[in-house]
Amino acid sequence: MPDDDILIIGGGIGGLTLALTLHARGIPCHVFEAVPEVKPVGVGINILPHASQELAQLGLEDDLAKVAVATSDASFFNRFGQLIHREPLGRFAGYAHPQFSIHRGDLHAVLLTAARAKLGAGRIHLGWRCTGFTQDENGVTVAFDDITNGAPWPSQRGRAAIACDGLHSVIRKQLHPDEGEPRYSGVNMWRGVTRMKPILSGASMVRAGWLTHGKMVIYPIRNHADGTQLMNWVAEIETPHYKKRDWNREGNLNDFIGMFGNWHFDWLDVPAMIRSADAVLEFPMIDQDPLPWWTQGRVTLLGDAAHPMVPRGSNGAGQAIVDARVLADCLAAIPDAAQALKDYEGKRLQATSNVVLTNRVNPPDAIIREVFERTGDKPFGRIEDVISHAELTAITDGYKRVAGYTKEGLAAQ
């Protein structure tokens, strides 16, 4: 392997997007992923217009459209099934690019197929678990072992190493060994997917209820030939109890379904949807306080390794995708890799820190919190008597500005 290659640690959404973006700029790289076999894991994810714009520039929009749902609207309800606010999304709102709701496994498959085709399969290494790095003024050396048997792989050297190794990043721990424990938000979530008939517009992203008495996020992520859809749902409940974060932990239906037992709406029977799920996963809503820095010499962080955030606002993957484009631009423009990584940090650290902190207190679903508080968690007669349309749009527009996907901002790019 040439010493001037970029070493990407982690072959998830951020790592593969970075590999494709570097390749598009003529920068050679290798991707090292710990899992020995790629399988479709996780559930639903949203690709907001700022992220779908980046993926479209990599030539992936048509491939994504084949396996995703182009989300048409965001619809907010109280726990009595009353509509609070609805607004168009993606191209339906006049953006140049769509918002995609997609199974995380389908998104990853699109990225992996493209990376193997463009970079060559020999540059995607599976079963390589990073154990740490050393560096000098001329390059960085990363150590790996074989995750299947623990035997060491040959150390790899490049001109920079990018940690895209997610929530449990080994490189982040090496850079910040004294970092505190993850911050629990006080909210636990259970997630599942259910094959069912479409609801509302057939492409709606629904947020309903509030955390004190149970909140749901519901949206379709796959269309089937028989007219049914794969519906992604997330149940969120305030609770002091949680288990260590693990995206693939099996959840217990009886731990949360009671909160939604009377959610029988004209447009959806929520408990029936939950009970019909293929499987249920449990995950605490946890983030980490923003770091003061990501970059040390020729090593830096990207995506969840850099800025793990509470999964509200559908924006974790989107920020990783934007990270990848900015980092690739910096490496293409600045010959000195260490300076390029520092420039990338300067462009992205504060921006993503703002998203992390906003997701804690004022994500787009703060709309339903506001109505919950103003009504005392009771049905309303007219929503206009509770909150004005201007106030509602101000909440969602404010989040778009922080997250970097206003129509005006993307058009200017």
For residue range 312-323, what is the model confidence (pLDDT) as tens digits? 877 889 999 999
Q: Nearest 5 degrees, angle CA 309-CA 362-CA 352? A: 40
Residues 399, 356 contacting (CB under 8 angstroms) = no
The answer as to whether 350 is a domain residue is yes
Over residues 123-154, the pLDDT tens digits come to: 999 999 999 999 999 999 999 999 989 899 99
pLDDT digits (tens, 9 = 90+) for 225-238: 999 999 999 999 98
Q: Would 374 be classed as within a structural domain?
A: no
pLDDT, tens digit (0-9, with 9 covering 90-100), for 159-185: 999 999 998 899 999 999 999 888 888
**147 CB burial (10 A radius; 0-12, 13-18, 19+):** middle
CA-closest candidate to residue 412, choices 387, 404, 42: 404
Please give the distance of CA 65 from its chain centroid, rounded to a whole number.
18
Residue 206 in any domain: the answer is: no
CB 44 within 8 A of CB 101: yes
Q: Name which of 270, 264, 266, 256 is nearest 218 in CA terms.
A: 270
Residue 199 domain-assigned (yes or no): no
344-379 as b/e: b if 16+ CB within 10 A:
bbebbbebbbbbbbbbeebbbbbbbbbbbeebeeee
d(CA 389, CA 216): 22
Note the pLDDT tens digit of each residue in 199-234: 999 999 999 999 888 999 999 999 999 999 999 999
For residues 309-338, give the mean pLDDT.
93
More confident call, 92 vs 41 = 92
What's residue 374's pLDDT?
96
Mean pLDDT, residues 7-20 taken together: 97
Is 138 within the bounds of a domain?
yes
Q: What are the C-alpha distances in Å from 404 to residues 47, 50, 155, 346?
A: 13, 7, 38, 16
Strand locations in 104-175 (E): 124-126, 128-136, 139-146, 152-158, 160-163
Number of domains in the chain: 1
Q: Is 176 a domain residue?
A: yes
* pLDDT band of 410, cuts 50, 70, 90: confident
Task: Taking residues 294-319, report their average pLDDT.
Answer: 92
The reply to whether 129 falls in a domain is yes
In a domain, 231, yes or no: no
Give the residue numbers spanning the domain of 354.
Answer: 6-48+64-69+104-181+290-361
CATH number at residue 323: 3.50.50.60
The pLDDT of residue 1 is 55
Average pLDDT score over the chain? 93
